[in-house]
Structure 1
Amino acid sequence: MRSLVLVSWCFCLFAAVSSQNVGTQAAEEPLNLPISVCTAPGNCQTEADAVVLDSNWRWAHTTTGYTNCYTGNLWDTTLCPTPETCTTNCAIDGVPLADWSGTYGGSVTGNKFNLKFVTVGPYSTNIGARTFLLDSTKTRYRMFQLLNREFTYDVDVSSLDCGLNGALYFVSMDADGGAAKYPTNKGGAKYGTGYCDAQCPHDVKWINGLANSKDWTPIPGDANSGKGYYGNCCAELDIWEANKQSQAFTTHPCTPNDQTRCEGVVCGDNDSGDRYNGMCDKDGCDFASYRMNDHTFYGPGSTFKLDSTKPFTVVSQFITTDGTDNGDFKEFRRFYVQNGVRIENSKVNFPGITAYDSITDEMCAATKGLFGDLDDHKNKGGMKQMGEAMRKGMALVMSIWDDHDVNMLWLDSNYPPTGNPSTPGVARGPCPTTSGVPSEVEVTQANAVVSFGNIKFGPIGSTV
């Protein structure tokens, strides 16, 4: 996932405790979200999981008072002259149930989780959010071992238009949020710590239990977010990135796959020209129906095979070489169910290219060759390397965000925006290249909501 916009706290409510920790007056109360773990068709057990808010969105303040350590898009230079001092001086706080809907736009209805894009609270305006799924202990992320398994959920993106992304994906975070590895991380998974992804994001405020305040620079045009010296990398499996105009699913292997704080070349930063010199495949191998030249498969209205103005079910299957949990990852398959009808995934639709309908090494090589893209997916180990992250276990992320880097054009418009849309791979969606500007999207789509529900996980063929 790319960088998200963060809430800017400008007030003080709770008493504080030490280090990267939590306050004593604001109880941490995750949102209960039941999921189903299946063993066979019709044989699923409900488990009492919960949704926790990423620590990036939490109020950071002094451990001895109420003074902000982070305001707007800047760390306080007096409290945070170095990452170590900042970590000693500052704490993060809990999220009580009332703040979920009133501040962050999150709510649960039955087994459905909803995230509203912009929430104007009594003291702040929150834009976007990123959340993780905890297991029934409420202290650890649920780790999904995905090989030879099926993952299913219902989604509603009907209110998300050009420039927005309602995303559900997996990343190779530590189950405890890194608390065991990094003693200064006092919050752990219970407080949403440890986020990483294949973009090696520099906007993560806390990495390895330390404030990422070194060389922190505000992001131009973003009143709430910035970038620090360090990035935080790990493998990423994008199950769903979408608005009602376009959608994609993508594999992003890394070497190594595990959470790794990066600096310099291995971060693969675009600004330094090192995108393909880093440890992660930032492009990934994507299957996006519109980009694969099927412009009738997905979109708003009954003329499309999959109508994005109505809810539907997304089914992802992770096929191994030998059909067992021990095999290597070879294929990411996808189909949908809407109005009780099974809808097979679209196919690659270019002359001279096999009509692939899933992600495989062969599909990645063929489409990247056609598009003229560097095959960094292969260079980073391809499907097999992606599978090693899946074998170990990955945490589930659900988010809604806009894009201050390239206005989400990579998902729903022509990208690069100056490219010829008749060139294979350039057209990724029907949105204008002038769309997706955050300052506009945050006003016109403030009330947009993405919903994920009825999550099921089990052997292939067990969840639908």
Structure 2
Amino acid sequence: MFQSAALLAFSLAAVSYGQQVGTNTAETHPSLPFQTCTASGSCTTVQGKVVIDSNWRWVHGVGSTTNCYTGNTWDATLCPDDATCAANCALDGADYSGTYGITASGNGLTLKFVTQSANKNIGSRTYLMASDTQYQIFKLKNNEFTFDVDMSQLPCGLNGALYFVQMDADGGMSRFPTNKAGAKYGTGYCDSQCPRDIKFINGQANVQGWASSPNDTNAGTGNFGTCCAEMDIWEANSQAAAVTPHPCTVTQQTRCSGTTCGGTAGRYAGVCDPDGCDFNSWRMGNETFLGSGSGFTIDTTQKITVVTQFFTADNTSTGALSEIRRFYVQNGKVIPNSFSNVAGMTTQHNSISDNFCTAQKTAFGDTNSFSSNGGLVQMGTAMDAGMVLVMSVWDDHAVNMLWLDSDYPTTAPATQPGISRGPCATTSGVPATVEAQSPNAQVTYSNIKFGPIGSTFSSSGTGGSSPGTGNGTPPAGGSGGCSTAKYGQCGGIGEPHFV
């Protein structure tokens, strides 16, 4: 989940030592309560908080008001090399609502796309915290994760993304002593794209080799990237949505360089699966499942409850990850994920398994980097270690989000299996246009719940026909909901993946 940050320049004050902490603005984390549930269905509220990623923060000289980074350029005096820059520069506290358009109310978090204060901020990336100095760690195997989302105000070209990455709980402070800021200031990010736009990695700056982006005035890339496994629960806008696991061969947040980062020069040479194994209902052949209006099974003009279940081969938390299932709840009805309907796939699937991924990659003619990076078993290894919840909103300076909601790549005919991913025009998603035309776009995540399979959601309604199990023939009647009280066993998510 790779996105470029709008890092703002202010004029304020600081403190001392390594990848350091500034003192001009007190860091006060917005509250975001969530619930943990038991097998019996009882849930307990946890008083969580959120923190904005360090890439968005003002970076200035220790004891001065001089910007270490302005626009997409490092100050050559303060930052002649990676280690010196980390010693000279500090991350300051954040004005969450005024500068970044991040507001929390009750159990919900709203992320505004464009916020205009002294400077203009574009998008944000936030992490759920267990305390002011530690990220909340989730172990997903043999459990389910549920949340509500309102993405009615996200047009083509935007991505309201909720996902997990294998970050260190303390933001890397214990492994990298020159990191003085830690999770309190949103450090330690990594994902399966091994992003090289991250300004501080492993307690050092990413100055050496830094090249300013040719089409993003706030971003650039350095010599190093930061890699880890990524579980995309939800990458979506009002026109399209995808759930995508991305395994890595590394087993913790890892700094990369050269070809080990992957990238356009050697996309599949890196230590992570950049494409993932995605289930996007439109791409998988059902163009009426999710979209804006009452004509779709899932209506994105209304709030949606999204449930993702992580099954293991032996139904224990220590077993191998074997299947990822998806349900939705809307208007009192539980709705299982759509089934695939793709030429070349002889079995219809409505969940993610290694068999589904192999069949999909074959039918679409895609490189199976998912399998070569260990598939679901390796994804489960990251889950064993624990993962951090990320909530973000962003636009795409690389390929205009076409990989999510339009035809991609644009050099292939849209009729070719796997190319059409959503109804948006191939001319849509240009960041300058999206930012100008949709500055008030936003996404709200709320009502987060986590617990054993079948513990986090229910419905007072009967949804129609009972869905089939994960990888088989869909039942007559299609996409109805479950008719039982608990739905865990019933039925079957910079950030661009370029699959």
TMscore range, shorter length: over 0.9
Aligned pair partner of 1:133 in 128, 148, 168: 128
Aligned pair partner of 1:150 in 123, 144, 147: 144
Q: Does 2:22 match 1:30?
A: no
Q: Does 2:99 match 1:107?
A: no
What is the CA–CA distance in structure 2 between the aligned matches of 1:196 and 1:361, rounded to whole Å? 24
Amino acid at match of 1:432: A
In the alignment, what sits opposite 1:87? Answer: 86
Q: Which moved more, 1:13-22 or 1:303-312?
A: 13-22
Q: Per-residue displacement from partner, 1:323-354 (whole Å, max 9, x unpaired)?
A: 01111000010000001111110111124521
Aligned pair partner of 1:212 in 206, 210, 229: 206
Q: Does 2:288 match 1:296?
A: yes
Structure 1 residue ranges without an equivalent (≥5):
none
In the alignment, what sits opposite 1:319? Answer: 311
In the alignment, what sits opposite 1:66? Answer: 65
Q: Does 2:3 match 1:6?
A: no
What is the CA–CA distance in structure 2 between the aligned matches of 1:42 and 1:279, rounded to whole Å? 39
Is the Cα contact below 8 Å between 2:13 and 2:63 reproduced in 1? no
In the alignment, what sits opposite 2:270? Answer: 278
Q: Which moved more, 1:329-338 or 1:79-88?
A: 79-88
Q: Per-residue displacement from partner, 1:19-71 (whole Å, max 9, x unpaired)?
A: 21212232110111000011134411001110001000110000021100000
Q: Per-residue displacement from partner, 1:245-302 (whole Å, max 9, x unpaired)?
A: 00001010001131000001111121x2x11111000000000001001000000000
Pairs within 5 Å for 1:229-268: 229-268=223-262
What is the CA–CA distance in structure 2 between the aligned matches of 1:430 and 1:20, rounded to whole Å? 44
What is the CA–CA distance in structure 1 between the aligned matches of 2:89 and 2:267, rounded to whole Å? 33
Q: Does 2:63 match 1:50?
A: no
Quick one: structure 1 residues 222 and 352, their matched pair in 2 at CA, closer, same or farther if it must change by over 3 Å? closer
How far is the alpha carbon of 1:14 from its aligned partner?
A: 3.1
What is the CA–CA distance in structure 2 between the aligned matches of 1:25 and 1:116, rounded to whole Å? 24
Is the Cα contact below 8 Å between 1:161 and 1:243 reproduced in 2? yes
Q: SS where residue 32 of structure 1 aligns?
A: coil
Amino acid at match of 1:426: I
In the alignment, what sits opposite 1:347? Answer: 339
Is the Cα contact below 8 Å between 1:17 and 1:24 reproduced in 2? no
Q: Per-residue displacement from partner, 1:304-327 (whole Å, max 9, x unpaired)?
A: 000011111000000000001111
Is the Cα contact below 8 Å between 1:318 and 1:329 reproduced in 2? yes
How far is the alpha carbon of 1:418 from its aligned partner?
A: 2.1
Aligned pair partner of 1:176 in 170, 186, 190: 170
How far is the alpha carbon of 1:434 from its aligned partner?
A: 0.7
How far is the alpha carbon of 1:221 from its aligned partner?
A: 1.4
Aligned pair partner of 2:401 in 399, 408, 417: 408
Number of matched residues? 456
How far is the alpha carbon of 1:417 from its aligned partner?
A: 1.2
In the alignment, what sits opposite 2:188? Answer: 194
In the alignment, what sits opposite 1:384? Answer: 377
How far is the alpha carbon of 1:16 from its aligned partner?
A: 3.2
Is the Cα contact below 8 Å between 1:7 and 1:125 reproduced in 2? no
What is the identity percentage for the equivalent residue pairs of Structure 1 and Structure 2?
57
What is the CA–CA distance in structure 1 between the aligned matches of 2:128 and 2:11, rounded to whole Å? 28
Amino acid at match of 2:121: N
Amino acid at match of 2:160: G
Aligned-residue CA RMSD (Å): 0.9
Structure 2 residue ranges without an equivalent (≥5):
458-499
What is the CA–CA distance in structure 1 between the aligned matches of 2:122 and 2:344, rounded to whole Å? 44
Q: Does 2:413 match 1:420?
A: yes
Is the Cα contact below 8 Å between 1:4 and 1:129 reproduced in 2? no
Q: SS where residue 21 of structure 2 aligns?
A: coil
What is the CA–CA distance in structure 2 between the aligned matches of 1:422 and 1:269, rounded to whole Å? 27
What is the CA–CA distance in structure 2 between the aligned matches of 1:387 and 1:304, rounded to whole Å? 33
Q: Which moved more, 1:79-88 or 1:278-287?
A: 79-88
What is the CA–CA distance in structure 2 between the aligned matches of 1:27 and 1:125, rounded to whole Å? 21
In the alignment, what sits opposite 1:433? Answer: 426
What is the CA–CA distance in structure 1 between the aligned matches of 2:435 and 2:5, rounded to whole Å? 10
Q: Which moved more, 1:289-298 or 1:36-45?
A: 36-45
What is the CA–CA distance in structure 1 between the aligned matches of 2:7 and 2:442, rounded to whole Å? 17
How far is the alpha carbon of 1:234 from its aligned partner?
A: 0.3
What is the CA–CA distance in structure 2 between the aligned matches of 1:101 and 1:257, rounded to whole Å? 35
What is the CA–CA distance in structure 1 between the aligned matches of 2:410 and 2:298, rounded to whole Å? 26
Q: SS where residue 31 of structure 1 aligns?
A: coil
Is the Cα contact below 8 Å between 2:14 and 2:60 reproduced in 1? no
Quick one: structure 1 residues 191 and 316, their matched pair in 2 at CA, closer, same or farther if it must change by over 3 Å? same
Amino acid at match of 1:102: G
